[in-house]
Chain A
Amino acid sequence: MDPRIIVVTSGKGGVGKTTTTANLAVALAKAGYKTAAVDGDIGLRNLDVVLGLENRIVFNLVDVVEGACKLQKAMVRDKRVENLFLLPAAQTRTKDAVSPDQMLKLCDELRENFDITLIDSPAGIEQGFRNAAIGADEAIVVTTPEVSAVRDADRIIGMLESMSKSPIRLVLNRLRPAMVKSGDMIDVKDVLDILAIDLIGVIPDDTAVVISTNKGEPLTLGDESIAARAFSNVARRILGEEVPLLDLEASDQKGFFGFLRKALGL
């Protein structure tokens, strides 16, 4: 496989870009691919805490592009998973600390050293997003089933298309099957109708995600939660496997009331 660089982006903030990046990076590394997770959010770094690697950072992305240290030296190796490395963002600098040319050069270097690089993009459509996307071949757009997030996703898809990223695929995050069923949440099909791009995965709203972020242990490290399986499936689809979508509704109808609802056909 040729080295691949994938930008994970969304337009709107708070829809789960960083969580998605962290979980996919872990799953891809576990699948045996040498994986780099790059935090592209200069000045507001977060991928380190979500991955649980915040205490091991010495150098960062800005140090590398400025030539203050070698890429290999800045990459934080994850001790829990073989093949997983984090390139943290700088926290005390701003987005202006990195130029598009520097990002392109960094991406060339990442290509030489890693099978797959995931770049966690900052929210917004400004330079920070452009820097995160400029060196990527492909894009994963994360959205939630809300009008604001879908609208921003549409905008970002237009920009990624004009930057010739291909493929551009969608992760629909935080879907609540019960609300979809009652007609109070836009469904996968609605979102795809509206955005007209390919789907690469649906992640159910799962309390396990919050707990994993609290601990700094991405779900794909080993958790058996439904969200963990959904993220793992996205990783497998990135690798070209054909994996059917999970039946989220079935998993949503656990417990006595779920059983009751099912029995009554409601």
Chain B
Amino acid sequence: MNFLARLFQMIKKEKSKDTAKKRLQLVLIHDRTDISPEMMENLRKDLIGVISNYLDIEEDKIELDFSKEERSVALVANIPVKNVKRRAERRAEPA
């Protein structure tokens, strides 16, 4: 009986609870990244600050958004580069 049950399980598709769990995890990642416009703006400013140390960028053409992939959520930034700086104006590492 146990053998049959196991065989049946193997043939059977994914358990509905696993489907539920996966769907929930995905939807929650998205729910949780629902960050405020203010936070998004701060993120944008900080990003510009860091990247400007290395590259000349077109600050007003930056696109920053979350994109939902099949199984994950990604932060996608499109940052047009005007010029690569010859020497990075890197600040000293914090002690």
Contact = CB atoms under 8 A, between A and B. Distances in A.
A264 B32 contact: no
Interface string B33-63: 0000000000000000000000000000000
A186 B21 contact: yes
Nearest to A185: B17
Interface stretch (B22-30, B67-75, B81-89): B22-30
Nearest to B28: A154
Contacts of B25: 194
B interface secondary structure, majority? helix
A183 interface: yes
**Tier of interface size on chain B:** 10 to 19
Given A194-B21, A266-B1, A151 B15 contact: no
Contacts of B2: 265-266
A182 B9 CA distance: 10
B31 interface: yes
A187 B16 CA distance: 12
Contacts of A265: 1-2
A180 interface: yes
B92 interface: no
A interface secondary structure, majority? helix
B5 A186 contact: no
B15 A183 contact: yes
Given A184-B15, A194-B25, A147 B20 contact: yes
A155 B31 contact: yes
A190 B24 CA distance: 10
Contacts of B28: 151, 154, 194
Nearest to B15: A183
Given A265-B2, A266-B1, A158 B20 contact: no
A264 B5 CA distance: 11
Nearest to A184: B16
Contacts of A185: 17
Given A265-B2, A266-B5, A186 B17 contact: yes
Contacts of A193: 21
B18 interface: yes
Contacts of A182: 15
A62 interface: no
Contacts of B17: 180, 183-187, 190
Nearest to A154: B28
Given A151-B24, A186-B17, A265-B1, 9 more contacts: A147-B23, A154-B32, A158-B32, A183-B17, A184-B16, A186-B24, A194-B21, A194-B24, A265-B2
Interface of B: 1-2, 5, 15-18, 20-21, 23-25, 27-28, 31-32
17 contacts: A147-B24, A151-B27, A151-B31, A154-B28, A154-B32, A155-B31, A158-B32, A183-B15, A183-B18, A185-B17, A186-B24, A190-B17, A194-B28, A264-B1, A265-B2, A266-B1, A266-B2
